[in-house]
Structure 1
């Protein structure tokens, strides 16, 4: 089996991750906690999130909708019906999302393995009044969110890699 065919797991994995993320955001939009209290946000934004501020509720609906689109796009990279979507568009989407998610997981956008490690080792000290919360959220991010975004990003990258290696489509 060609290596590009073995890499089909990337598209399916990206679809599964998008479905899981979208399900969580839909649950939050409908009023469930669904890990909202574990979201690594600054304290003032976290309070708004947990108070169900209309901006955050709307954001959950938007993210749930985006996740549905993500499932469809991810599947379009591996399913025959995806051939109707321009290949270049799928490549740009897969590589862009893959890159963003891997960078997020590492810590290039504020959170991630590096940022969490800096907080947990005391190199980056949060404000004293939020130190315990910051450490708790850093642990959640280190053990749940960063690995999730890393896996999701690698799935998107594998989907893009596979799509780029396929003969003309």
Structure 2
């Protein structure tokens, strides 16, 4: 999550390397609302990284266990849906069932299908496993 946050912050600060792998990234670079979205998602990713750490550290002294569990399961499900959405849309695009609308490029669709989608899907699975593990451990305590 921290690596993805760093990427969002880099793009928000005007960096362009890798931006063409994100849907409409290069077309929207420099747009003030897109920069705000990048900052916002960057901070969400930092919070997600801290949440992941909270599941393996003794931070439940400060944060109630029930709140950590709700947040962890919620993040896991959102990441699964996000990655799955990328992969389904990408597969539909790759097979020609749907076509690009607007200035989207094949590069971003290909990256979302074969890199970003699976990566977010894997992150969702890992978050759900971490939540399940944390839930199992907290049930024993």
Question: Are 1:75 and 2:46 counterparts?
Answer: no
Question: Are 1:166 and 2:137 counterparts?
Answer: yes
Question: Are 1:152 and 2:123 counterparts?
Answer: yes
For 1:90-141, what per-residue CA distance to the aligned partner results, in whole angstroms no more than 9, with x for missing partners?
A: 111111111111112122xxxx2221111111111334x758x2x3222111
Question: Pairwise CA RMSD of aligned residues?
Answer: 2.0
CA contact (8 A) 2:72 2:131 kept: yes
Gap runs ≥5 in structure 1:
1-17
What does residue 2 of structure 2 align with? 19
Q: Number of aligned pairs? A: 140
Taking a change above 3 Å as real, the CA distance of residues 60 and 166 of structure 1, as seen in their structure-2 partners, is: same
Q: Find the partner of 2:99 among 125, 129, 132.
A: 125
Gap runs ≥5 in structure 2:
none
The TM-score with structure 1 as length reference comes to 0.74
Higher relative contact order (CA 8 A, sep 6+): 1
